[in-house]
Amino acid sequence: MSLSRTLTPAPDYPDVGNPDLLDRIPLDADVVLDVGCHKGALGAAYRLRNPRARVLGVDHMPEAVRVAAGRLSEVACIDIESDPLPFEVPDGYDCIIYGDVLEHLRDPWRIMREHAKLLSPRGVMLICVPNAAHWSVPLRLINGTFDYEDQGVLDRTHLRWFTLATMEKALAQTGLQACDVTPRTFDQKGAETAADLLKDVLPAMGLSRENFLARSAPMQFIWRARKTPAQPIAIRSTMLKPFAAVSDIRVIYPMRALKTDPSVSVQVGDIDTFPQPSERQPAICVLHRPLLVGDEGVAVFRHLMQRGFLVVTEFDDLPDFMPQLRDERLMNFRAAHAVQTSTPVLAEALRQQNPEVAIFPNGISELRPIVNFMTPGSVTLFFGALNRTVDWQPYMPVLNAAAAALGAQLQFQVVYDQAFFDALETPHKSFTPLCDHRTYMSLLAQSEISFMPLLDSAFNRAKSDLKYIEAASARVVPLASPTVYGDSIEDGVTGLIFRSESDLYEKIIRLVTAPGLGITIGNAARQSVAQARMDAYGVADRVAWYRSLLDRREELTRAIYDRVPELAP
Per residue in 300-328, pLDDT (tens digit) is 999 999 999 999 999 998 887 777 777 88
Instruction: Determine contact, residues 520/494, Cβ cutoff 8 Å.
Output: no
pTM reported for the whole predicted model: 0.91
> What is the dihedral sign for C-alpha 527, 532, 535, 536?
positive
Instruction: Give residue-wise pLDDT tens across range 510-552.
Output: 999 998 999 999 999 999 999 999 999 999 999 999 999 999 9
- Dihedral sign, Cα of residue 510, residue 513, residue 514, residue 520: positive
pLDDT tens across 353-407, in order? 999 999 999 999 999 999 999 999 999 999 999 889 999 999 999 999 999 999 9
Give the type of residue at 340: Q
Single out the residue of 423, 426, 415, 409 nearest to residue 452, CA to CA: 415
Nearby residues of 546 by Cβ (< 8 Å), 6 or more positions away: 233, 235, 284, 312
| pLDDT single digits (tens) 322-360 | 777 778 889 999 999 999 999 999 999 999 999 999 999
Closest CA to 69 of 95, 39, 99: 39
Is 507's pLDDT higher than 80?
yes
- Per DSSP, 32 falls in state E
If one counts every other C-beta atom within 10 angstroms of the C-beta of residue 374, the result is: 9
- 65-79, 189-203, 258-272, 483-497: least confident range: 189-203
* Nearest of 248, 266, 478 to residue 364 by alpha carbon: 248
Specify the pLDDT at position 160.
86
Rounded average pLDDT over 101-128: 95
Residue 442 CA to chain centroid, in angstroms?
Answer: 17
As a whole number of angstroms, the distance between CA 421 and CA 392 comes to 11
- Calpha distance 52→43 (Å, rounded): 12
Residues 6+ apart with CB under 8 A from 203: none
pLDDT reading at 1 higher than 50: no
Report the alpha-carbon distance of residue 293 to residue 297 in Å, rounded.
5
Q: How confident is the model at residue 2 (pLDDT cuts 50, 70, 90)?
A: very low
**Share above pLDDT 90 across residues of the chain, in percent, rounded to a whole number:** 83
**Amino acid residing at 367:** L
- Report whether 280 contacts 232 (CB < 8 A): yes
Compute the mean pLDDT over every residue in the chain, rounded to the nearest whole number.
93
